[in-house]
């Protein structure tokens, strides 16, 4: 197997000892087909056990290992070394506070996720003994793509609005609200609108589309947010312009 000497420049920060973050350079022999995470793991095992980052699945589904790689939000388990030349710069995910080294605090995202009520609020409740809610493949396809979000938060790191306006609920959480709104079993849209159809919600989005570009799960949050804007506008028209209308 072909090997290659890879140089990584990793942002280090330890609140116990450092007043500010600094870059540390590592050189490590890697196999051609490796990803950035493999290089970090080799550094941690053989060179510097004090380097800190999160990871688990190594197959782009657990969402743990998001970081900035040459300035772009990436899952490090899905950032192939072959795509990079020269020194690879590795930094913690943008727009989140750093706990230590490449470990950021996702508290804000976790709180926002909860606020959009990302769970079925049943249209009609029925007991398990009555079996499944029927859902045709076409009804499933209306929301399935939006259910693929792995909560890796790369879209928050890419979103310029979130960077400027931290109150913005943000791409992933809004997309999950949309996912439940679009589910034929759900009747909770109105409850979610209280959070979603506000200036912290979809109206903060300026449709830059960076979220969809960086999404490793092909969720396309930008399209979800656009659809939500349209339905929220229709709500407004029904409520304000149609005589006797109510949303």
Residues that bind another protein (CB under 8 A): 1, 14-17, 33, 44-46, 49-50, 52-64, 78, 80, 99-101, 103, 105-106, 110, 113-114, 117-120, 122, 126, 128, 131-137, 139-140, 143-144, 147-151, 176, 180, 183, 185-186
Residues 181, 211, 32: CA angle, nearest 5 degrees: 125
Least distance CB 38 / another protein (angstroms): 9
Between residues 120 and 195, which has the closer beta carbon with respect to another protein?
120
93: which DSSP letter? P
Between residues 33 and 167, which has the closer beta carbon with respect to another protein?
33
Q: Give the tokens for residue 194.
A: 């209280």
Between residues 218 and 240, which has the closer beta carbon with respect to another protein?
218
Chain position carrying tokens 């540390």: 24
Number of other residues whose CB lies within 10 A of the CB of residue 129:
5
| Rounded-to-integer distance, Cα 247 and Cα 236, Å | 7
Least distance CB 52 / another protein (angstroms): 5
Between residues 44 and 229, which has the closer beta carbon with respect to another protein?
44
Least distance CB 61 / another protein (angstroms): 5
237-240 contact pairs (CB < 8 A, 24+): none
Task: Give the rounded distance of the alpha carbon of 185 from its chain centre.
Answer: 25
| Rounded-to-integer distance, Cα 191 and Cα 47, Å | 52
Between residues 27 and 33, which has the closer beta carbon with respect to another protein?
33
Least distance CB 57 / another protein (angstroms): 4
Least distance CB 166 / another protein (angstroms): 20
| Rounded-to-integer distance, Cα 38 and Cα 26, Å | 13
């Amino acid at each position: 197997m072909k090997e290659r000497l890879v140089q990584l420049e990793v942002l280090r920060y330890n609140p116990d000892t450092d007043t500010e973050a600094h870059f540390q350079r590592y050189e490590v022999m890697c196999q051609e087909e490796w990803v950035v995470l493999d290089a970090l793991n080799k550094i941690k095992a053989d060179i510097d056990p004090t380097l800190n980052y999160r990871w688990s699945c190594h197959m782009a589904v657990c969402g743990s290992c998001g970081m900035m790689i040459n300035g772009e939000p990436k899952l490090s388990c899905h950032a192939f070394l072959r795509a990079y030349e020269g020194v690879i710069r590795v930094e913690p995910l943008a727009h989140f506070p750093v706990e230590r080294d490449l470990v950021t605090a996702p508290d804000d995202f976790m709180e926002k996720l909860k606020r959009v009520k990302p769970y079925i609020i049943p249209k009609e409740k029925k007991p398990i003994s009555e079996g499944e809610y029927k859902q045709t493949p076409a009804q499933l396809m209306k929301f399935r793509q939006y259910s693929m979000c792995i909560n890796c938060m790369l879209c928050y790191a890419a979103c310029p609005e979130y960077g400027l306006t931290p109150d913005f609920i943000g791409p992933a959480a809004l997309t999950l609200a949309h996912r439940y709104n679009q589910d034929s079993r759900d009747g909770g849209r109105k409850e979610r609108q209280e959070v979603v159809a506000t200036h912290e919600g979809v109206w903060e989005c300026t449709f830059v589309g960076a979220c969809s570009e960086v999404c490793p799960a092909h969720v396309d949050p930008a399209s979800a947010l656009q659809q939500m804007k349209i339905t929220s506008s229709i709500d407004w028209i029904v409520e304000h312009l149609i005589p006797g209308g109510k949303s």
